[in-house]
């Protein structure tokens, strides 16, 4: 019989947040076990509710959004995005420069498919949000990882970026605020990245989906507001800030040097048309969502849920012998470091499996974020403090006598 294999294009494409460790967790759940899933940044299962105003609005809009929209999206939605970009200091974005998508995810894949030829390189952070590496690879390109330095608050290492630029480098991905580290980059650092991009004719891919989830009174700077010389694609959406990840609504806006990117823009227009349009009822929420305050605004203030959970997890992680973490400044992730010598860890995926099987807690190992050394993992700190507390107590018990053994 003929066998059907996955396409060769998918070789080396991986998305471990929903990978083998999660498959094992799902198997355990099917067998009646209870698993605490701390692997996906999905607010709804942890009791975060979408604003009533948006739910009512979407219900009311269902009959007027039955048809396809313009492939780039509803005019009213794109108009609101242009205004949002202006408020963030991003100049020169017109309605035609905005594409709505079924989440930022769809647009990340599209932006790479439209640009890359075999052998083209894109600089991607390590650790990264793995969809970026997967999308570069799927599009035939090579993701070249630049290091973010834990010793320097997980900021991108500018010297490492410099070393990794080659004549084949077409762009650089900047995830700010960052998933999985929770870092927030200062303007001065972003200016250094802009300088390198300008000097080397690189496109900047700015993933800013967490820009409204910034704590401690800090201000987020959009990297696209710092240059008009290179092409910038700024990605954003409502999954996190308005707690509607399931509605699938995101966008990308183009700014800067569009003149020299006409061919690429033609490619993006073609790809956008090929998927007809993104979810129209969800698009119809964009203007309202961007005119109200983010649902998470209060949650990131002292006393708010996300803020207090961040405070809790940061302390709990650093209280466990052999584990430490930099304090996250934004989003809802922490990326702890493990003392690999103490625990004899050689394989971080196996470590995640060991914790899952023994303590029934699911998280993603650092390798899932293209972090090469097996000494990190990511915790999504969306659950209530009582749940996080139980998880961390179990983790402490687990690590008290853990020494990794090979299977
Ligand atoms: C950094 C980052 N970019 C993009 C996405 C995708 O978001 P969306 O729901 O808009 O597809 C996520 C989701 O977790 C993310 O963490």
Residue 305's pLDDT is 94
Q: Are 227 and 193 in contact (CB under 8 A)?
A: no
**Nearest in space to 315 (alpha carbons), one of 400, 213, 389:** 389
Contacts for 393 with CB less than 8 Å, ≥ 6 apart? none
Share of the chain above pLDDT 70, in %: 99
Q: At residue 203, does pLDDT exceed 80?
A: yes
Residue 39's pLDDT is 87
Predicted confidence band of residue 16 (pLDDT cuts 50, 70, 90): confident
Residue 133's pLDDT is 96
Share of the chain above pLDDT 90, in %: 92
Give the model confidence (pLDDT) of 347-357 as tens digits: 999 999 999 99
Of 18, 50, 105, 108, best ligand 1 pocket probe by most atoms within 8 Å of the beta carbon: 105
CA 86 to chain centre: 23
**Tokens coding 5:** 């294999």
Cβ of residue 175 lying under 6 Å from some atom of ligand 1: yes
**Alpha-carbon distance 367 to 199, whole Å?**
32
Give the model confidence (pLDDT) of 351-385 as tens digits: 999 999 999 999 999 999 999 999 999 999 999 99
Mean pLDDT of the chain: 95
Cβ of residue 105 lying under 6 Å from some atom of ligand 1: yes
Q: At residue 320, does pLDDT exceed 80?
A: yes
Contacts for 402 with CB less than 8 Å, ≥ 6 apart? 343, 354
Q: At residue 4, does pLDDT exceed 90?
A: yes
**Alpha-carbon distance 335 to 314, whole Å?**
10
**Nearest in space to 132 (alpha carbons), one of 124, 141, 140:** 124
How many CB atoms within 10 Å of residue 404? 16
Q: Annotate 141-187 with DSSP letters as a single string.
A: -EEEEEEEEGGGTTEE-HHHHHHH--TTEEEEEEESS-TTT-----H
Of 16, 179, 328, 331, best ligand 1 pocket probe by most atoms within 8 Å of the beta carbon: 179
**Alpha-carbon distance 131 to 109, whole Å?**
8
Give the model confidence (pLDDT) of 115-168 as tens digits: 999 999 999 999 999 999 999 999 999 999 999 999 999 999 999 999 999 999
Cβ of residue 207 lying under 6 Å from some atom of ligand 1: yes
Residue 407's pLDDT is 59
**Tokens coding 137:** 């690879």
Give the model confidence (pLDDT) of 321-337 as tens digits: 999 999 999 999 999 99
Q: At residue 307, does pLDDT exceed 90?
A: yes
Average pLDDT value for residue range 257-271: 97
Average pLDDT value for residue range 275-301: 91
Buried b (16+ CB within 10 A) or exposed e, 131-166: bbbbbbbbbebbbbbbbbebeebbbbbeeebeebbe
Cβ of residue 103 lying under 6 Å from some atom of ligand 1: yes
Q: At residue 17, does pLDDT exceed 80?
A: no
Gap from CA of 391 to ligand 1 centroid (Å): 25
**Nearest in space to 176 (alpha carbons), one of 213, 142, 151, 150:** 213
Q: Are 240 and 213 in contact (CB under 8 A)?
A: yes
Residue 72's pLDDT is 98
């Amino acid at each position: 019989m003929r066998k059907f294999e996955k396409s060769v294009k998918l070789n080396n494409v991986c998305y471990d947040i929903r990978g083998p460790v999660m498959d094992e967790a799902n198997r355990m759940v099917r067998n009646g076990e209870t698993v605490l899933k701390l692997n996906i940044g999905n607010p709804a299962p942890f009791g975060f509710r979408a604003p009533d105003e948006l739910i009512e609005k979407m219900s009311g809009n269902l009959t007027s959004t039955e048809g396809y929209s313009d492939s780039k999206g509803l005019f009213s939605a794109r108009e609101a995005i242009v205004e949002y970009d202006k408020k963030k200091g991003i100049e020169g974005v017109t309605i035609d420069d905005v594409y709505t998508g079924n989440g930022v995810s769809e647009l990340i894949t599209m932006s790479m498919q439209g640009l890359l030829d075999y052998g083209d390189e894109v600089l991607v952070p390590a650790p990264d949000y793995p969809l970026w590496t997967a999308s570069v690879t799927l599009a035939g390109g090579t993701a070249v990882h630049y290091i973010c330095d834990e010793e320097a608050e997980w900021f991108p290492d500018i010297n490492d970026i410099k070393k990794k630029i080659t004549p084949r480098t077409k762009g650089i991905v900047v995830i700010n605020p960052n998933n999985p580290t929770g870092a927030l980059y200062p303007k001065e650092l972003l200016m250094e990245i802009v300088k390198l991009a300008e000097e080397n004719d690189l496109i900047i891919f700015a993933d800013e989906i967490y820009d409204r989830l910034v704590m401690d009174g800090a201000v987020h700077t959009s990297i696209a507001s710092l240059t008009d010389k290179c092409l910038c694609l700024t990605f954003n959406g409502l999954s996190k800030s308005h707690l509607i990840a399931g509605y699938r609504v995101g966008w990308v806006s183009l700014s800067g040097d569009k003149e020299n990117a006409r061919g690429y823009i033609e490619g993006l227009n073609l790809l956008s048309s090929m998927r007809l349009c993104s979810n129209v009822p969800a698009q119809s929420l964009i203007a309202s969502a961007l005119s109200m305050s983010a649902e998470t605004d209060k949650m990131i203030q002292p006393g708010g849920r996300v803020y207090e959970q961040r405070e809790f997890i940061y302390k709990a992680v650093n209280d466990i012998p052999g584990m430490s973490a930099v304090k996250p400044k934004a989003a809802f992730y922490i990326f702890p470091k493990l003392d690999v010598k103490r625990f004899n860890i050689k394989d971080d995926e196996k470590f995640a499996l060991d914790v899952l099987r023994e303590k029934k807690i699911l998280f993603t190992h650092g390798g899932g974020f293209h972090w090469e050394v097996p000494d990190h993992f990511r915790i999504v700190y969306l659950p209530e403090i009582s749940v996080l507390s139980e998880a961390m107590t179990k983790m402490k018990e687990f690590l008290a006598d853990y020494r990794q053994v090979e299977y």
